[in-house]
Amino acid sequence: MKAYKRLTIGLLTLQGDFERHRHQLELLGAGSRDVRLPSDLESLDGLIIPGGESTTMSILMDRFDLRRPLLAFARRHPVYGTCAGMIMLAKNIENNISGVKPLGLLDIDVDRNGYGRQIYSFEDELEVHLNGLPKKIKAAFIRAPRITRLGKGVQVLADYRKEPVFVRQNNILASSFHTELGDDMTVIKYFADNFFS
């Protein structure tokens, strides 16, 4: 785990399940820092946008003047978004009645709660393809977004019932599901091993 000690990953802590991501970073041996203000982004190696409520995240990003600094940061650093984090990274949101303003960093369109509302949340086993090798992981879909359009430059790392749920584009990684709720380190380790030179 010594190799990860050099990393300090920001956690967007405006709202959501950021503590589980912090726990996984601790298990990995990497450092973390809360990000609520533009100055919190300074000297970070990367950023995680957690699951949570995308409407609240969008409002608070603007309230704390974080939108433009986040966009500038993501042009130069790795960013990983889970669930609501994927929604915030997307280019467009379908049926966007809540007026969420996504960052547009990932060339996908999403349908919020596309896999059902809270009462329809579920866990299932997925096969992910990381570094050319298949691996089984447990994935929790909690009010999960469904990808409805996939841009040409977006690589699919896993699908669920023939629909993409785990994708990568350049320095951006995103999943419809959560893996940080348990202690499976597959996804966070892939992020740390493949997105930082």
**In this predicted model, what pLDDT tens digit does every residue of 1-28 receive, in sequence order?**
568 999 999 999 998 889 999 999 999 9
Q: What percentage of residues in the chain have a pLDDT greater than 90?
A: 78
**pLDDT one-digit tens code per residue, 85-127:** 999 999 999 988 888 999 999 999 999 876 666 666 778 999 9
Structural domain for 113, as ranges: 2-194
Question: What is the sign of the dihedral through the CA atoms of 119, 156, 184 and 197?
Answer: negative
Q: What is the pLDDT of residue 119?
A: 67
Q: How many domains does the chain have?
A: 1
CATH number reported for the structural domain that contains residue 158 in this entry: 3.40.50.880
Query: Tell me, what's the pLDDT at 2?
Result: 60
Q: Cβ(156)–Cβ(169) under 8 Å?
A: no
List of residues 6+ apart from 174 with CB closer than 8 A: 80, 81, 82, 85, 86, 89, 90, 106, 108, 166, 167, 168
- The widest CA-to-CA distance across the chain, in whole angstroms, is 46
Q: Give rounded-to-5 percent helix, strand, coil for the chain.
A: 25, 35, 35
What is the set of active-site residues?
A: 83, 178, 180
pTM for the whole structure: 0.94
pLDDT (tens digit per residue) in 62-83 = 999 999 999 999 999 999 999 9
